[in-house]
Amino acid sequence: MQEDLRNNISDEKNKTVTTEVSKKKYNRYVVIFWLILVSVILFTVLLFGLISKGKLGYMPTFEEIENPKSSLASEIYTADEVLLGKYYIENRSDSRFSELDSNLIHALLATEDIRFYSHSGIDFRALIRAVYGAVTGQNRGGGSTITQQFAKLLFHERPDSKAKRILQKLNEWVIATKLEQRYSKDEIIALYLNKFDFVNNAVGIKSAAKIYFDTSPDSLKLDEAALLVGMLKNPALYNPVRRPDTVRFRRNVVLRQMQKYGYISTVQYDTAILLPVDMSKFGRQDHISGQATYFREYLRGNLKKWCSEHFKPDGTPYNLYKDGLKIYTTLDSKLQQYAEEAVYEHLALDLQPTFFKHWKGHTNAPFYFEKNTSEEIKKIMNQAKRRSERYRKLKRANVSSDSINISFNTPIPMRVFSWEGEIDTVMTPMDSIHYYKFFLQTGLISMEPSTGYVKAYVGGINYKHFQYDHVTQGARQVGSTFKPFLYTLAMQNGLSPCTMFPNIQPIIYLDNGDTWEPKNSNSKDKGLEITLQYALATSNNWISGHLIKRFSPQSIVKVVRNMGVTSFLDPVPAIVLGSSDLSPYEMTGAMNTFTNKGVYIEPIFITHIEDKNGNLLEAFIPKQNEAMSEETAFLMLELMKGVVRYGTGIRLRSTYKLENPIAGKTGTTNNHSDGWFMGLTPDLTTGVWVGCEDRAAHFRTLYLGQGANMALPIWALYIKKIYADSTLNISQEDFEKPLKELTVEIDCEKFNAINSNNIFDSEEQF
């Protein structure tokens, strides 16, 4: 009994000891647990604190998160608000959430983050799913939210190790949390889609919609929206231009997700997955493609200068390539389209084939010289070689002259221009230079008379292969298109379009004792008296000679200066026959003075510039001055209408059936190197030049090389397209007469009755 009692007491003591030991162990484990927990918490707090401070890797500042820094492309718009092109380092333009199509939003949510509107930047459910998938090898989707994906885009460098990637992931969590605090959910979606690079030079959803489908983010079709969202997974892999089959599979995955979450019906899904990947509207946005390439490049230089002289609120100058400027131009997209079509139809389909045929079989084609042909051609080709980009690159690399010559005469693969499309071929660089000498070039500029707004601008035939701008850079001999300036002087001094002169060759004595005798291309009406209107219409050189005897070259220069021409003008008698070199820009601006009732108005290209937020930075107003009286301008229009009615521009009536009032003037240089036509209507003043790059390359006959054959057809095709478009409201009426009664008679029958004794009845009186 006592022994049992002793055993029980012993057992109780043992139990007590055991309990006490267990309690001590338990307490120690609790302490360890809390130490570990607190340590983890402290470590986590410290870790994320250091991450937040940027101590463990890149962390955007408060300002960068508040206003994410991205290069915004500056956009160029036509007067009718068509996006013409962009200047950029990164081809990105922002879209607001309200400008995003609902299919695009639904596709994004269904595919990337269905709980986007219910989490605070990190979706722990998705995170656990992703971790489980990584451990088990069963991939059930990623754990990144849309906010995290946007945060990832803020990093400029890719991690080169797993450790760095894990650290970057933690950084993304912190950034995502900050983003959620500062932006609404809708804003985060817009920021993400605006930042993402969809490859093929399409940064942001606005550029992607335009480049891939020629549309805007608010007008994307269901299959288009799904395709773009599918690219978010891996844009290089799911590139619709290179891998349409892979992209179609990915697009259909997105569509299936949209159906799964009820964003589209089964019928919509079944219909959409059958659609092919349509890249027929794909078009890269760069400076060598699209509409008005020469115009955009001309503006680039002017805008860079403007940016250097205008400053942002922070005191730094604007950057054309980063600050997202909105440049609103005067160009009309339809008129520009019609101008480019007219150039193509005449040059590609008619004049260029004629030129090739004209020179076929000729040894020195397309060059024509009266003597020393081989030496002159060698000189032209050598100059062209030295102007080439290939030559400049070799010289910059300090390549010897002998090696350069070998390089230029060694056949290499290349792509060359043709009107039917680029040709893959093998030829020497020198042969390619000679090949390009055959192509006829052009410059066309069309402006609105009363505003000075340039409505169409074609600087050449293909900017990629021929980057010289023949509207503003090119100055060529103007030929008879200069004669209206001489006749302006006559009208200012009381003469009438009906004033008559004897059609005989004048002799003009020069200051140095020599004589100058202008020549006519034919002897028609020789010895007869003809009116000034008839003389201008038939481009009569003898009558121009008579007029220059009455009015000095210096007085003509003064008239032309008042009409906006700033280029050098040699004040010699031959100036009246167009010996000067002027650009289509200057000629058209000057001719527009007649249409604008005697007031010269400077052709302008930009109406206003806005910043990326739509704030007006500057509005542009053209310079103008009164160059002549309204009556003189009207008389000149009457004179120039004769050119079209029965003169050198009669093809507008006979061939192109244009019966409305048109004032015009053709121009042809002596060797047929340059063909011009200036066409004036009440609503448009348009100048066209056509010729080869080198003046030695040209047609060998006046019939083919005259302005009426080279340039006039482009103007005719252009204006016919405009008249056929009723939405443009371009007038076909006559020019408006001055309100005041004319001081001279323009009805030639009445004029002749009044002036039966013409005071200009002998050459000596001129």
Q: Could you report the per-residue pLDDT of 559-602, keeping only the tens digit for each?
A: 999 999 999 999 999 999 999 999 999 999 999 999 999 999 99
Average pLDDT, the chain: 88
Half-sphere exposure of 277 (CA within 13 A, CB side): 22
For the cut 50, the answer to whether the pLDDT of residue 211 exceeds it is yes
What is the pLDDT at residue 67? 57
What is the pLDDT at residue 667? 96
Alpha helices in 459-583 (DSSP H): 483-492, 532-537, 541-550, 553-562
Please report the beta strands in 450-498, taking only residues with DSSP state E, as ranges in sequence order: 454-458, 476-477
User: What CA dihedral angle connects 193, 195, 199 and 205, to 10 degrees?
Assistant: 40
For the cut 90, the answer to whether the pLDDT of residue 547 exceeds it is yes
For the cut 70, the answer to whether the pLDDT of residue 484 exceeds it is yes
- Between residues 265 and 10, the one the model is more confident about: 265
- 263-275 mean pLDDT: 95
pLDDT in tens, 159-188: 555 655 566 667 777 777 778 888 899 999
- Hey, what are 544's tokens? 């121009």
For the cut 70, the answer to whether the pLDDT of residue 139 exceeds it is no
List the one residue out of 441, 539, 544 whose CA is nearest residue 487: 544
What is the rounded CA–CA span in Å between residue 209 and residue 232? Answer: 14
Instruction: Tell which CATH architecture fits domain 440-606+617-755.
Output: 3-Layer(aba) Sandwich (3.40)
What is the pLDDT at residue 152? 81
What is the rounded CA–CA span in Å between residue 462 and residue 441? Answer: 9
- Hey, what are 224's tokens? 């288009």
Q: Does 738 sit behind a cis peptide bond, omega within 30 degrees of 0 on the bond before it?
A: no
* Percent above pLDDT 90 for the chain: 69
Q: How many CB atoms lie within 10 A of CB 473?
A: 15
- Hey, what are 664's tokens? 């015009």
Question: How would you write 334-371 as a 3-class SS string?
Answer: HHHHHHHHHHHHHHHHHHHHHHHHHHCCCCCCCECCCC
What is the pLDDT at residue 153? 80
What is the rounded CA–CA span in Å between residue 647 and residue 59? Answer: 75
Which residues are paired to 690 by β-bridges? Answer: 442, 675
User: Which residue in the block uniquely carries the two structure tokens 């055991």?
Assistant: 18
* Secondary structure of residue 738 in the 3-state scheme: coil
- Hey, what are 402's tokens? 């002998």
For the cut 70, the answer to whether the pLDDT of residue 388 exceeds it is yes
- Provide the pLDDT confidence category of residue 59 given band limits of 50, 70 and 90: low
- Provide the pLDDT confidence category of residue 510 given band limits of 50, 70 and 90: confident
**Phi/psi of residue 161, nearest 5 degrees:** -155, 165
- Hey, what are 41's tokens? 């918490």
What is the rounded CA–CA span in Å between residue 450 and residue 633? Answer: 14
pLDDT in tens, 600-653: 999 999 999 999 999 999 999 999 999 999 999 999 999 999 999 999 999 999
What is the pLDDT at residue 258? 96
- Provide the pLDDT confidence category of residue 761 given band limits of 50, 70 and 90: very low
**Pair 140, 133: CB distance under 8 Å:** yes
What is the rounded CA–CA span in Å between residue 519 and residue 550? Answer: 18
For the cut 70, the answer to whether the pLDDT of residue 341 exceeds it is yes
User: Cα–Cα distances in Å, from 121 out to 53, 132, 523, 694, 731?
Assistant: 19, 20, 89, 65, 60
- Hey, what are 151's tokens? 């945060």
What is the pLDDT at residue 131? 54
Residues 6+ apart with CB under 8 A from 282: 200, 211, 212, 213, 240, 241
- 191-209 mean pLDDT: 91
In CATH, the number for domain 92-284 is 1.10.3810.10
Alpha-carbon 498 to chain mean position = 46
pLDDT in tens, 360-387: 999 899 998 876 688 889 999 999 999 9
